[in-house]
């Protein structure tokens, strides 16, 4: 069992690091956070720092190593960048944090990054330290920590793709996170979806539309950039979900989904997602098949320019988007087709910030059995296995270096990217315990060579 001292140290480290506003794109604060993580790894974990340098003005990829001379090596991956936040609506200042008794949840640490992902990062590192200090760490550990996950993980992907990448061959990699979604059973994901992020933008210019906002009485004879944006958006994805295509569910995934459907609670999922109704009718299996098999184009923001104008024809309009695909579909293919379709909507420009495909691993991949056993010893409920996550992470980039890349960890958090982001104190203790157990169990896992 994880000691009170380890738990207290992990909570204190979470509080310290959540106090650094390492918001995506904020280079000085990202460097400050990277330095703090690197210093902790050197002084507290006594890890070897393989690399912590910035590349191409991007946040540093921190690569540290603990070599105990074991026959097996594992990768622990995590992140130190967070999404923006203001204090409006929060129970505490998001970049100071504090303990809050959340209704229906309980005693929790609330801060930006508490769940996504500074809490899991700190807990992961304290789990390693507890084993290392006790002399019971029986696997070598490659630690890979990035500051660009919220922006597409380009620096990490480049680091892993380099022919001279110094990451040691590993039996398995995990992305420690709180996987008791909505307070339900802990989940294990055998892969991740792909993602592309960017924007569609229309500005007044040669195609028409004003170059500065003008009176709306000109609508009969001056084109509206916002109207052209709506036309452009209508050329991709079926409303109301932005559906693009569906993959066929293969036999292994179908068996996993059938088992999952028997225990999946759609009502609890809606409550966790703060939603009243799914976009389709159907039982648990139909819902799971749809969400796992469907590629979609999500409009995450929609603006006319200037913001908040009234009684004008705007001079521009933009829509931010995420295009998500299940494994076997590549976001780039959909983007290429969409770019061609935009030729019929002059003035609309597609800009892609980043894009990468999904990837999945088999149900018997190394690390899976050890993680399920760690869940059984840590959590009250039987774990759920998902064939892949509907969220994205660069699993494909880890595949050449590890035989599996799994989202892993007991514990409950919530409100990632939102107001009052939290991790429960009780869940945080379970999380640290589950990671420590996995690190121990993977040393003896049958078939994990």
Q: What is the CATH number of the domain that holds 390?
A: 3.40.630.10
Q: Quick one: which of 192, 292, 196, 194 has its CA closest to 248?
A: 292
- 75/97 same-domain check: yes
- 396/264 same-domain check: no
Q: What are the strands, taking DSSP E only, across 226-293?
A: 243-246
State how many domains the chain has.
2
- 188/75 same-domain check: yes
Q: What are the strands, taking DSSP E only, across 253-328?
A: 294-305, 312-313, 316-325
DSSP state of 112: T
Domain range for 62 is 4-193+359-441
Q: What are the beta bridge partners of residue 82? A: 23
Domain boundary among 325, 356, 387: 356
Query: For every one of its 449 residues, what pLDDT tens digit does the chain have, with 9 covering 90 and above?
Result: 789 999 999 999 999 999 999 999 899 999 999 999 999 999 999 999 999 998 888 999 999 999 999 999 999 999 999 999 999 999 999 999 999 999 999 999 999 999 999 999 999 999 999 999 999 999 999 999 999 998 889 999 999 999 999 998 999 999 999 999 989 999 999 999 999 999 999 999 999 999 999 999 999 999 999 999 999 999 999 999 999 999 999 999 999 999 999 999 999 999 988 899 999 999 999 999 999 999 999 999 999 999 999 999 999 999 999 999 999 999 999 999 999 999 999 999 999 999 999 999 999 999 999 999 999 999 878 899 999 999 998 999 999 999 999 998 999 999 999 999 999 999 999 999 999 999 999 999 876 66
Q: What is the dihedral of CA 130, 133, 136, 137, to 10 degrees?
A: 80
Query: Using DSSP, how many helices (H) and how many strands (E) does the chain show?
Result: 12, 21
The answer to the question of residue 446 being in a domain is no
Domain boundary among 356, 374, 392: 356
Residues with Cβ < 8 Å from 172, sequence gap 6 or more? 74, 75, 365, 366, 367, 402, 403, 404, 405, 406, 442, 448
Whole-Å CA distances, 193 to 44, 97, 129, 288, 328:
35, 31, 32, 14, 9
- 107/135 same-domain check: yes
Q: Quick one: which of 384, 387, 332, 393 has its CA closest to 358?
A: 393
- 227/255 same-domain check: yes
- 161/13 same-domain check: yes
Domain boundary among 290, 324, 356: 356
For strands 98-102 and 413-414, give the pairing.
Answer: unpaired
- Vertex 52, ends 11 and 65: CA angle to 5°? 70
The answer to the question of residue 135 being in a domain is yes
Tokens 């066929």 -> residue:
248
Residue 356: other Cβ atoms inside 10 A: 23
- 32/94 same-domain check: yes
The pTM score is 0.90
Q: What are the beta bridge partners of residue 192? A: 359
d(CA 290, CA 126): 38
What pLDDT is recorded for position 449?
61
- 143/254 same-domain check: no
């Amino acid at each position: 069992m994880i000691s009170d001292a380890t738990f207290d140290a992990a909570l204190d480290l979470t509080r310290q690091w959540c106090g650094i506003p390492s918001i995506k794109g904020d280079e000085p604060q990202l460097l400050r956070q990277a330095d703090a993580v690197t210093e902790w790894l050197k002084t507290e974990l006594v890890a070897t720092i393989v690399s912590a340098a910035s590349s191409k003005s991007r946040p540093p990829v921190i690569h540290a190593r603990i070599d105990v001379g074991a026959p097996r090596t594992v990768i622990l991956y995590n992140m130190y960048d967070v999404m923006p936040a203001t204090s409006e609506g929060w129970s505490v200042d998001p970049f100071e944090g504090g303990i809050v008794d959340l209704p229906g949840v309980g005693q929790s640490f609330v801060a930006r990054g508490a769940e996504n992902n500074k809490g899991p990062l700190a807990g992961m590192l304290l789990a390693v330290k507890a084993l290392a200090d006790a002399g019971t760490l029986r696997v070598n550990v490659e630690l890979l920590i990035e500051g660009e996950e919220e922006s597409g993980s380009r620096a990490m992907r480049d680091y892993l793709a380099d022919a001279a990448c110094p990451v040691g061959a590993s039996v398995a990699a995990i992305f420690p996170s709180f996987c008791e979604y909505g307070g339900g059973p802990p989940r294990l994901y055998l892969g991740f979806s792909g993602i592309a992020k960017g924007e569609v933008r229309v500005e007044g210019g040669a195609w028409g539309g004003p170059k500065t906002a003008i009176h709306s009485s000109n609508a009969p004879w001056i084109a509206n950039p916002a109207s052209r944006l709506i036309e452009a958006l209508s050329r991709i994805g079926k409303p109301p979900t932005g559906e693009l295509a569906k993959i066929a569910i293969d036999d292994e995934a179908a068996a996993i989904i059938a088992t999952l459907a028997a225990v999946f609670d759609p009502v609890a999922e809606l409550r966790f997602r703060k939603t009243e109704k799914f976009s389709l009718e159907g039982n648990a299996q139909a819902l799971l098949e749809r969400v796992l098999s469907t590629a979609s184009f999500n409009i995450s923001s929609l603006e006319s320019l200037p913001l908040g104008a009234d009684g004008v024809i705007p001079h521009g309009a933009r829509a931010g988007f995420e295009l998500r695909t299940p494994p076997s579909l590549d976001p780039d293919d959909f983007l290429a087709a969409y770019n061609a379709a935009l030729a019929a909507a002059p003035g609309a420009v597609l800009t892609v910030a980043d894009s990468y495909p999904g990837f999945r691993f088999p149900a018997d991949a190394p690390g899976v059995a050890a993680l399920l056993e760690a869940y059984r010893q840590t959590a009250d409920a039987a774990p759920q296995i998902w064939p892949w996550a509907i969220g994205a992470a660069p699993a494909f980039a880890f595949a050449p270096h590890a035989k599996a890349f799994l989202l892993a960890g007991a514990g409950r958090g919530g409100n990632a990217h939102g107001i009052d982001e939290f991790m429960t104190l009780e869940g945080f203790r379970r999380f640290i315990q589950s990671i420590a157990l996995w690190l121990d169990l993977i040393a003896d896992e049958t078939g994990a060579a």
